[in-house]
Amino acid sequence: FIQQQQQTPVVVTPMKAILPLLLLLLAFTVSTSQAFVATTPSTCTTTSRPAPSLAANNNMDNDETSAPHPFCNLPGDPSMILTTNVDLGDKKMEIMKAVSKAITEHTGKPESYVAVSINDKADVIFGGSDAPTALACMYSIGAIALESNGAITKSVTDLLGDFGIDEKRIYINFFDMPRANVGWSRRTFAG
């Protein structure tokens, strides 16, 4: 008897499955003229390095210069995303603007950086009930603290109270974001 030798099937990986790995590898290996380094959530620097020379053996450590990246001086992103099962009707934009002003007032950040999104008429339950309720998440680079969080919660609760949402049926979660984790204008606030 001649036994047939079992062949191992050849697995062909689709290009779209390995493309992210190739892009990551390419990004890792490409030299750039500047490296951005976040040193703390509130400070960062740009380290300028000359491109490596093929003709000379440059010591890059001796050629570094540090200066703050312009994005490091920007106040960052206070943004709130609020979802409610209540129909806010034609008052929705008015509430969004009032929430934006409350965030500005209580964080000290300029309103030009504040973003507010409200999703009303959503399917939301709280405590197993679909009675009027609201959930919100606020993200900011700094300015997340007991006093400001409480003041923003009070302002938002007061605004939503006019729509029959009880103060005990509103959750607002606050997140202090590292500068490197907030993207804006084609880069992050860390540079």
pLDDT in tens, 52-110: 333 444 443 444 445 555 666 666 689 999 999 999 999 999 999 999 999 999 999 99
What confidence score (pLDDT) does residue 145 get? 95
Q: Which of 78, 110, 132, 178 is catalytic?
A: 78
41 is catalytic: no
Kind of pairing between the strands at 115-119 and 79-84: parallel
pLDDT in tens, 10-66: 554 454 554 444 444 444 333 333 333 333 334 443 333 333 333 444 443 444 445
| Residue 7 exposed, middle or buried by CB count within 10 Å (0-12, 13-18, 19+) | exposed
What confidence score (pLDDT) does residue 14 get? 53
| pLDDT-based confidence at residue 3 (cuts at 50, 70, 90) | low
Tell me how crowded residue 168 is: count the other CB atoms within 10 A of its CB: 9
pLDDT over threshold 90, residue 175? yes
Tell me how crowded residue 109 is: count the other CB atoms within 10 A of its CB: 21
Instruction: Give the pTM.
Output: 0.64
What confidence score (pLDDT) does residue 162 get? 94
Q: H or E segment at 37? A: strand 34-40
pLDDT in tens, 111-166: 999 999 999 999 999 999 999 999 999 999 999 999 999 999 999 999 999 999 99
